[in-house]
Amino acid sequence: MIEISHLTKKFDQFAAIDDLSFNVAEGEVLGFLGPNGAGKSTTMKVITGFLSPSAGSVTVDGYDITRNAIEAKALIGYLPEGAPSYGDMTTLEFLNFIAEIRGYRGDEVNTRVQHVIEEVELQSVAQQTIETLSKGFKRRVGLAQAIMHDPKVLILDEPTDGLDPNQKHHVRELIKNLAKDKIVIISTHILEEVTAVCTRAIIIDEGKIVADGTPAELGAQSQYHHAVSVRLNEEYDLTSDLVGVSGIGNVVAEEEENSFTILASNGAPIFTKVTEIAQSNHWPVAEFHVNRGQLEDVFRTVTAQSRGDE
């Protein structure tokens, strides 16, 4: 269990994190979202004990990150932003170093290193110096070092940044497999990733939490939640058929020709109503489907609100 309470981090006068409080329990995969400069990386740096907080506290399984730093850090595996590693070492040498620092000795070092090498598929580059590796492999080396000691808490700062779609898929599968009985915190600005791997998402902006919930819950806040998308074969004015029907909100014309999105005004499903109207009015329907809430939409709304843009 990670407990973050009233965490504040100030750089000079600027508060990068502003009175942040939340807990993460075992088994949760927390997606940490926010626009660039929202304080995602700073939060991770404080949680992992790299930066010390200006106020508030972080405890990992009861160990305070500033007062019991060594014990707390021993529970955490961390992939910093950009997956830094010692470029002049080979993958194997680097991982051996990490294994030793993580307290493994003798044969254990080898066993552990071989295990993580298999886990993130680094066999082919084990003998290469890290600086000669591609971005994808470097990131995997970073992941390998983070999971070396089978940590209770895994903190990954943009783990899939710069990977190709196959590698992204692979890393996500890896995270899902690792997640059992663990705490995983991932920062990302790829929203599909949150839907794919996270059981919970927190959106922060200007150092404050602006949304917190499961990806589905957050999606439900979207104005597109339960909205019905319609594409017509020919021009037809469906707005007039829908005027005054309860539960139906605005009709948005999409970029594509003869495509419309009918929004639900009070968050209740409108699919049945719209189908009935469509049938009785003989709409020339080509395509018809219900939207789930879009995280992207929610993301934009909540981060814009907190900046007072709207």
Residues that bind another protein (CB under 8 A): 11, 45, 48-51, 70-71, 73-74, 76, 78, 80-82, 84-89, 93, 97-98, 100-103, 145
Least gap, CB of 50 to another protein (angstroms): 5
Q: Which element (helix H / strand E) includes 171? A: helix 165-178
Shortest Cβ distance from residue 96 to another protein (Å)?
9
Provide the minimum distance between the beta carbon of 104 and another protein in the complex, in angstroms, as a whole number.
11
In angstroms, what is the minimal distance from the CB of 74 to another protein? 4
Closest to 54 in 3D by CA, of 3, 4, 18: 18
Q: Would you call 1 exposed, middle or buried from its count of C-beta atoms within 10 A (0-12, 13-18, 19+)?
A: middle
Compute the least distance from the CB of residue 128 to another protein, in Å.
Answer: 13
Q: Which residues pair with 248 in a beta bridge?
A: 264
CA pseudo-torsion sign 240, 242, 246, 249: negative
Whichever of 54 and 195 has its CB closer to another protein, that residue is: 54
What span, in angstroms and rounded, lies between the C-alpha atoms of 166 and 168? 5
Q: How far apart are CA 90 and CA 234, in angstroms?
A: 63
- 56 contacts 20 by C-beta, under 8 angstroms: yes
Q: Which amino acid is at 24?
A: V
Amino acid code (one letter) for 72:
A
| Smallest distance from another protein to CB 73, Å | 4
- If the CB atoms of residues 48 and 303 are measured against another protein, the closer one turns out to be 48
Measured from the CB atom, the residue of 42 and 188 that comes closer to another protein is 42
Angle at 20 between CA 17 and CA 26, to 5 degrees: 120
Cβ proximity to another protein: between 71 and 241 the closer is 71
Nearer residue to another protein within complex by CB, 96 or 229 = 96
Q: Which is nearer to another protein, 46 or 262 (CB)?
A: 46
